[in-house]
Amino acid sequence: MSLPRNFPRHEGIVLVTLTLLAIAVGTINREFFSFFNIFSLLKNSTIIGLFAVGFFLVLVVGGLDVSFTSIGVVGMYGTVKLALAFYPGAPFVILFVVAALIGAALGLINGLLVTRLQAPSLIVTLGTLSLYRGFLLYFIGTKWIREVPTAMVEFNRTNVLVMTAANGAQVGLHISVAIFLAIVAIVFLVLRYTTLGRSLYAVGGNPVAARRMGINVEAVQTLAYCMAGTLASIAGFLSAVRLRLADPQSLTGSELDVIAAAVIGGAAITGGKGSVIGVFLGVLLIVITNDSLIVLGIPAAWQKVAIGVLLLVAIGMPLLARGRFTASQLRTGGGLVRVGGGSA
Amino acid sequence: MRVLQSIDSRLVTLLLAAILIVGTLGMVRPDTFLSPLNINSMLLQSSVIGLLSLAVAVTMLTGGIDLSINATANVTSIVVATLLSKTVPAEGGNATLAITALALVVGLLVGFGCGLFNGFLIAILGYSPILATLGTMTLFVGIGTVLTGGNTLFGISAFATVGRGSALGIPLPAIIFLLAALVLSLVLEARRFGFYLYLYGANESAARFSGINEHRLIFSVYAVSGVLSAVAGLINLGVTNSANVDYGASYVLLAILISVLGGISPSGGAGRIIGVVLAVLILQFLSTGLNLVFQSGGSNFLKEFAWGTTLLVVLAIGGRRYSRLGRASKGRGQTPRTVKAGSAVAP
């Protein structure tokens, strides 16, 4: 595994880019480094961050799961509907667990379909993307729910860290940021130090070798989709908590930012690569780019162009690092280089 | 080509499905479904999505994919609309034939350029098709947003004669779609280019070692995809007289669904254009049928649900056929790339 040797380098590049961008924006606008702005940047990162970590887990096993926004809205709307119907006074923990379970179930369906149908996961999850969303919107409902359970409203008022800003105002770090950071930490530890985590990388790096090592490849892949679904549903639920509103038509359209964040963070589409830290940095880069273009004097209309260019450059980075651009390698064994990339 | 012959059973299935759907809907709603007006409207509606499906199908045959089709179509219509609004006086002004022809050429060139850019990323830089076209999709949408400022450009009537016209009672857009399908079909099944393309899709390494100019093939395939998308964009401009960067956001999924439904193997190398044409018609019949039967609101969401289910069912039925092509490693990864690379490692 080239992981420890290769990836700090890629994450280093992302970190340097992020720092340069922050310095550039910070010199133009001093407010950038205020607690208020940093806290709000982190808050803006949580939802796409949770999606991105889930998306990344599937990338690690060599799959692509694009159904996350659908799972997010189903988890969000389903949880709120269930709570209002059966237990409006439910404590927050129960709501959170219900959302996680809905996501796990939908993720499990994804995983089973991908491993059983033996079709490209992009196409399978494109199918479930519209299946879940269509099911929710046609059979369950399209209306906004403004009267969300009280536990959600109260939870939304919680801050974990209150700082006093320069002008004396109190600035709080929203609790959803803490949940996000905790999940990042857990996923980091699981991927790095547990057998399960190493199996995910093994399956993504080389499924045949993983199978011969005695790993149940299908089970590990299914589990990755299941975890991704859980995180996506939690993300959807937290977005409803933050808005105090369950809107079944929200979230769609944020897919690209999420995929861009994971890829920019160094996850390879062929699987077996990347780290949660990289994804976290990628998310921050995307969020700061989105928030800061205006500060840098770039019109908002250019936002998509910027993300597109950033994405295309980021995809090219690992290829460049491996010398993939040299003509000789192109001719002789492009495909082989990419698969055996673990030893490059 | 044994691969092609084995797909014919699928064509028969598709044909039977089409007849079944038309028959059922014709009996349930005889006055509306089979009226010439409805048939014309169905043909018109299926031409844009049909062209986009052809664009996806041709890249899928190589084991790749083009997610930027709809962005290419929109950026084409936006560029053309901007050009026309600059050269033709507003309200009441008619574009001269020369300007319309110029606009047409510019539009096709935009699509060609978008396709070449995809081809460059995939063939020369070695990007995986999914990521490359995902990135260019964002980029093209971004360029479209910059050009329009996020607004809809309207009142562009230069292509209205094509968009609204018909010949022999058939809408012109439908004729263009069928012609494009026919030409593509002939090229793929009777020309050397098509043979190489199927070979490359079925086994990338074998194609490379047999001396095919891999770069030229990939460039051509994505350029064809770009031009087909551009034609879709121009037709759309003709039908709606307007251009917008958000138009048809759900078409990417639908085009992939149609290709897979039509028998194009997502891992490449198998499937025929005629299948795609049948699949377009089937989905259009179904879509119109759902609208006729469930006239109350929300049928769009039901459609979304139905598309997803149909795609998964088709994958389930076709699953064995696909996996036979990528047999080499049982524990293959899920991306088409890995499949082929895996088979390259295990002899």
Residue A296 has a pLDDT of: 74
Task: Indicate yes or no: CB of B338 within 8 angstroms of CB of A123.
Answer: no
Choice among A273-282, B28-37, B336-345 with the minimum mean pLDDT: B336-345
Q: Look at residue A31 and tell me whether its pLDDT is greater than 90.
A: no
Within 8 A of A319 by CB-CB distance, chain B residues are 125-127
8-state DSSP, A173: E
**In the structure encoding, which two tokens stand for residue A28, read together?**
């133009």
> Mean per-residue pLDDT for A55-82?
92
* Angle in degrees, 0-180, between the axes of helices A276-292 and A303-321, rounded to the nearest 10: 150
Calpha distance B17→B7 (Å, rounded): 15
Task: Indicate yes or no: CB of A130 within 8 angstroms of CB of B332.
Answer: no
Facing A311 at nearest CB: one of B65, B135, B329: B135
Model confidence over B92-120: pLDDT tens digits?
A: 556 677 788 888 899 999 999 999 999 99
Facing B333 at nearest CB: one of A142, A271, A306: A271
Q: Would you say residue B10 lies in a domain?
A: yes
pLDDT band at B7 (very low <50, low <70, confident <90, very high): low
For residue A116, how many C-alpha atoms fall within 13 Å in the half-sphere facing its CB?
Answer: 11
> CA angle, B62 as apex, B309 and A334 as ends, to 5°?
120
pLDDT band at B91 (very low <50, low <70, confident <90, very high): low
Q: Give the CA dihedral B82, B253, A259, B269, nearest 10 degrees.
A: -110
User: DSSP labels for A6-62?
Assistant: HHHHHHHHHHHHHHHHHHHHHHH-GGGGSHHHHHHHHHHHHHHHHHHHHHHHHHHTT
Q: Would you say residue A53 lies in a domain?
A: yes
Helix (H, G, I), strand (E, B) or coil at B210: coil
Report the chain A residue with the minimal C-alpha distance to residue B341: A335
> Mean per-residue pLDDT for A250-257?
78
Facing A301 at nearest CB: one of B130, B145, B204: B145
Report the chain A residue with the minimal C-alpha distance to residue B147: A301
Calpha distance B29→B26 (Å, rounded): 5
Calpha distance A55→A67 (Å, rounded): 9
Tally of domains within chain A:
1
Task: Indicate yes or no: CB of B142 within 8 angstroms of CB of A308.
Answer: yes
Report which of residues B37 and B322 the model is more confident about. B37
Facing B305 at nearest CB: one of A131, A270, A340: A131
Residue B94 has a pLDDT of: 62
Gap from A343 CA to chain B (nearest CA, Å): 14
Within 8 A of B260 by CB-CB distance, chain A residues are 123
Q: Look at residue A46 and tell me whether its pLDDT is greater than 90.
A: yes
Q: Look at residue A8 and tell me whether its pLDDT is greater than 90.
A: no
The amino acid at residue A275 is S
The amino acid at residue A62 is G
Burial tier of A148 (Cβ tally within 10 Å: 0-12, 13-18, 19+): buried
Q: Would you say residue A324 lies in a domain?
A: no
Q: In chain B, pLDDT over 90 holds for what percent of residues? A: 25
Residue B43 has a pLDDT of: 86
Model confidence over A73-100: pLDDT tens digits?
A: 999 999 999 998 888 888 889 999 999 9
Task: Indicate yes or no: CB of B146 within 8 angstroms of CB of A305.
Answer: yes
Within 8 A of B145 by CB-CB distance, chain A residues are 301-305
Place of tokens 């696909």: B322
Within 8 A of A134 by CB-CB distance, chain B residues are 301-308
Q: Would you say residue B101 lies in a domain?
A: yes
Choice among A113-122, A244-253, B153-162 with the minimum mean pLDDT: B153-162
Report which of residues B336 and A303 the model is more confident about. A303
Task: Indicate yes or no: CB of B130 within 8 angstroms of CB of A119.
Answer: no
Q: Look at residue A106 and tell me whether its pLDDT is greater than 90.
A: yes
- At B170, which helix (H) or strand (E)? strand B170-171
Q: Would you say residue A213 lies in a domain?
A: yes
Model confidence over A156-208: pLDDT tens digits?
A: 888 777 777 667 777 788 888 999 999 999 999 999 999 999 999 999 988 89
Q: Which residue out of A122, A217, A257 would a mutagenesis test of the B interface target, given it has the greatest number of B Cβ atoms within 10 Å?
A: A122
Q: Look at residue B297 and tell me whether its pLDDT is greater than 50.
A: yes
Average pLDDT value for chain B: 80
Residue B282 has a pLDDT of: 86
Residue B72 has a pLDDT of: 95
Q: Would you say residue A27 lies in a domain?
A: no
Reported ipTM exceeds the 0.85 cut: no
The neighbour count for residue B167, using CB atoms within 10 Å, is 9
Distance of CA A286 to the CA centre of its chain: 12
Within 8 A of A142 by CB-CB distance, chain B residues are 298, 301
User: DSSP labels for B53-104?
Assistant: HHHHHHHHTTT---TTHHHHHHHHHHHHHHHHHHHS-TTT----HHHHHHHH
Q: Is B155 within 8 Å of B89 (Cβ atoms)?
A: no
Residue B316 has a pLDDT of: 80
Q: Is A54 within 8 Å of A321 (Cβ atoms)?
A: no
Within 8 A of A209 by CB-CB distance, chain B residues are none
Which of A103-107, A141-145, A210-214 is most confident?
Answer: A103-107
Gap from A205 CA to chain B (nearest CA, Å): 9
Choice among B194-208, B249-263, B281-295 with the minimum mean pLDDT: B281-295
Q: Is A129 within 8 Å of A63 (Cβ atoms)?
A: no
Q: Look at residue B322 and tell me whether its pLDDT is greater than 60.
A: no
Choice among A109-118, A212-221, B332-341 with the minimum mean pLDDT: B332-341
Facing A129 at nearest CB: one of B125, B308, B345: B308
Task: Indicate yes or no: CB of A316 within 8 angstroms of CB of B335.
Answer: no
Q: Which residue out of A106, A138, A337 would a mutagenesis test of the B interface target, given it has the greatest number of B Cβ atoms within 10 Å?
A: A138
Task: Indicate yes or no: CB of A118 within 8 angstroms of CB of B322.
Answer: yes
Report the chain B residue with the minimal C-alpha distance to residue A272: B333
Q: Is B177 within 8 Å of B47 (Cβ atoms)?
A: yes
pLDDT band at A322 (very low <50, low <70, confident <90, very high): low
What are the angstrom distances between the C-alpha of A180 and each of A174, A186, A237, B303? 10, 10, 13, 35
Q: Which residue out of A69, A269, A309, A320 would a mutagenesis test of the B interface target, given it has the greatest number of B Cβ atoms within 10 Å?
A: A269
Q: What is the pTM of this model?
A: 0.81
Q: Look at residue A318 and tell me whether its pLDDT is greater than 80.
A: no
Distance of CA B163 to the CA centre of its chain: 18
Q: Look at residue A4 and tell me whether its pLDDT is greater than 60.
A: no
Q: Look at residue B31 and tell me whether its pLDDT is greater than 80.
A: no
Gap from A72 CA to chain B (nearest CA, Å): 16
**In the structure encoding, which two tokens stand for residue A44, read together?**
């803006």
Tally of domains within chain B:
1
Q: Is A288 within 8 Å of B119 (Cβ atoms)?
A: no
Task: Indicate yes or no: CB of B308 within 8 angstroms of CB of A132.
Answer: yes
Task: Indicate yes or no: CB of A338 within 8 angstroms of CB of B149.
Answer: no
Q: Is B55 within 8 Å of B66 (Cβ atoms)?
A: yes
Q: Would you say residue A316 lies in a domain?
A: no
CATH (domain of B284): 1.10.3470
Q: Look at residue A114 and tell me whether its pLDDT is greater than 80.
A: yes
Residue B317 has a pLDDT of: 75
pLDDT band at B318 (very low <50, low <70, confident <90, very high): low
Residue A224 has a pLDDT of: 95
The amino acid at residue B7 is I
> CA angle, A99 as apex, A96 and A100 as ends, to 5°?
85
How many separate helices (H) and strands (E) can be counted in chain A?
A: 14, 2
Task: Indicate yes or no: CB of A119 within 8 angstroms of CB of B266.
Answer: yes
CA-based nearest residue to B272, from B175, B179, B181: B181
Question: What is the span of the domain harbouring residue A177?
Answer: 35-275
Residue A323 has a pLDDT of: 53
Sign of torsion over alpha carbons B293, B299, B303, B309: negative
Calpha distance B275→B296 (Å, rounded): 32
Question: What is the span of the domain harbouring residue B276?
Answer: 5-24+35-292+299-318
Count of residues making up chain A: 344
Helix (H, G, I), strand (E, B) or coil at B167: strand
Calpha distance A261→B57 (Å, rounded): 28
Q: Would you say residue B332 lies in a domain?
A: no
Task: Indicate yes or no: CB of B142 within 8 angstroms of CB of A335.
Answer: no
Q: Would you say residue A210 lies in a domain?
A: yes
Q: Would you say residue A9 lies in a domain?
A: no
**In the structure encoding, which two tokens stand for residue A65, read together?**
């799961």
Choice among A266-270, B38-42, B207-211, B228-232 with the minimum mean pLDDT: A266-270
CA-based nearest residue to A203, from A275, A270, A261: A270
Within 8 A of A203 by CB-CB distance, chain B residues are 331
Model confidence over B229-263: pLDDT tens digits?
A: 999 999 988 888 888 888 877 788 789 888 988 88
Calpha distance A99→A50 (Å, rounded): 14
> Mean per-residue pLDDT for A278-302?
82
> Mean per-residue pLDDT for B13-29?
80
Calpha distance A21→A264 (Å, rounded): 15
Q: Which residue out of B138, B148, B325 would a mutagenesis test of the A interface target, given it has the greatest number of A Cβ atoms within 10 Å?
A: B138
Q: Would you say residue A281 lies in a domain?
A: no
Place of tokens 């899920």: B334
Q: Look at residue A332 and tell me whether its pLDDT is greater than 80.
A: no
Task: Indicate yes or no: CB of B305 within 8 angstroms of CB of A138.
Answer: yes
Task: Indicate yes or no: CB of B344 within 8 angstroms of CB of A316.
Answer: no
Model confidence over A215-249: pLDDT tens digits?
A: 999 999 999 999 999 999 999 999 999 888 888 88
Gap from B266 CA to chain A (nearest CA, Å): 7
CA-based nearest residue to B103, from B84, B131, B129, B125: B84
